[in-house]
């Protein structure tokens, strides 16, 4: 996957994976990141889940039936997919490819299983785990939605416990206690990762140009001086 180079450090853009227990606020974070600059875009997942009120097809998710989803998966069109709370969710490869072509960081709002698959299949991705500030805040967010009954809330709390165990597998952990501070943390992570020496694909040619320039200056302007 190659595309334009970001202005920072000359590294290619890379996917940014946000995973968290549901209710940690990662969708809000992902949306806010994408809204504020054109350096980020949102990966629109395919899902078999029914749309919630206000959700738009092709914007929040691409809503498909199970047969369509399975066909997409078997044609290899999904970079990862997982079954979450009895529904299927997956990241179309085309979302990653479009972003790379445009020189944008694509933000993936996915679950822990999906994050693991991205780690394995898309090694340049940066994995960020979003923690809720407290158990009470998590509960508040889960019940505050008003769309879930008690059994659903209990189920999500139980899966939160399982998902928290995956924290050490991530590259970074941010605490979503304050939206703006948390967004700042994510921006800092992305900027630092853009400057990482290990992202050498473009760095190598930059170094070649720099070396050639120094050698030329030495030959043209300093040739008569002792080494």
Binding site for ligand 5GP (CB under 6 A): 22, 45, 49, 80, 82, 84, 89-91, 109-111, 113-114
Q: Least distance from C-beta 114 to ligand 5GP, angstroms?
A: 2
Tell me the C-alpha to C-alpha distance, in Å, between residue 36 and each of 3, 61, 97, 215.
22, 20, 21, 42
Contacts of 29 (CB under 8 A, 6+ apart): 18, 130, 176, 179, 182, 183, 186
Cβ closer to ligand 5GP: 5 or 117?
117
Cβ closer to ligand 5GP: 104 or 111?
111
Q: Least distance from C-beta 172 to ligand 5GP, angstroms?
A: 17
Using the Cα atoms of residue 160, residue 162, residue 163 and residue 166 in order, give the sign of their dihedral: positive
Q: Least distance from C-beta 49 to ligand 5GP, angstroms?
A: 5
CB atoms closer than 10 angstroms to residue 123: 8
Q: Least distance from C-beta 31 to ligand 5GP, angstroms?
A: 12
Q: Least distance from C-beta 11 to ligand 5GP, angstroms?
A: 25
Cβ closer to ligand 5GP: 68 or 205?
68
How far is 130 from 111, CA to CA, in rounded Å? 11
Cβ closer to ligand 5GP: 39 or 156?
156
Cβ closer to ligand 5GP: 167 or 200?
167
Cβ closer to ligand 5GP: 80 or 104?
80
How far is 193 from 155, CA to CA, in rounded Å? 35
Q: What is the DSSP string of 138-159?
A: HHHHHHHTS---HHHHHHHHHH
Q: Least distance from C-beta 91 to ligand 5GP, angstroms?
A: 4
Q: Least distance from C-beta 108 to ligand 5GP, angstroms?
A: 7
Q: Which residue is nearest to ligand 5GP (CB)?
A: 114
In the chain, how many H helices and how many E strands?
8, 9
Cβ closer to ligand 5GP: 10 or 25?
25
Q: What does the chain come to in residues? A: 227
- Residue 38 tokens read as 């054109």
């Amino acid at each position: 996957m190659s595309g334009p180079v970001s202005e920072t450090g000359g590294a290619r853009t890379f996917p940014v994976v946000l995973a968290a227990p549901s209710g940690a606020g990662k969708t809000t974070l992902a949306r806010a990141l994408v809204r504020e600059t054109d350096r980020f875009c949102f990966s629109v997942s395919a899902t078999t889940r029914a749309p919630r009120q206000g959700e738009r097809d092709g914007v929040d998710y691409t809503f498909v039936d199970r047969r369509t989803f399975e066909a997409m998966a078997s044609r290899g069109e999904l970079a990862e997919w997982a079954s979450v709370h009895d529904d299927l969710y997956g990241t179309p490869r085309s979302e990653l490819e479009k972003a790379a072509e445009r020189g944008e960081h694509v933000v993936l709002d996915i679950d822990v299983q999906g994050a693991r698959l991205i780690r394995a299949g898309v090694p340049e991705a940066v994995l960020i785990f979003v923690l809720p500030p407290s158990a009470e805040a998590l509960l508040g967010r889960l019940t505050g939605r008003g769309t879930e009954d008690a059994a659903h809330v209990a189920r999500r709390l139980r899966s939160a416990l399982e998902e928290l165990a995956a924290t050490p597998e991530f590259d970074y952990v941010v605490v979503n206690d304050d939206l703006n501070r948390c967004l700042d943390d994510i921006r800092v992570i992305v900027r630092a990762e853009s400057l990482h020496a290990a992202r050498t694909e473009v760095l190598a040619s930059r170094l070649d140009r720099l070396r050639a320039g120094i050698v030329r200056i030495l030959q043209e302007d300093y040739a008569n001086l002792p080494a």
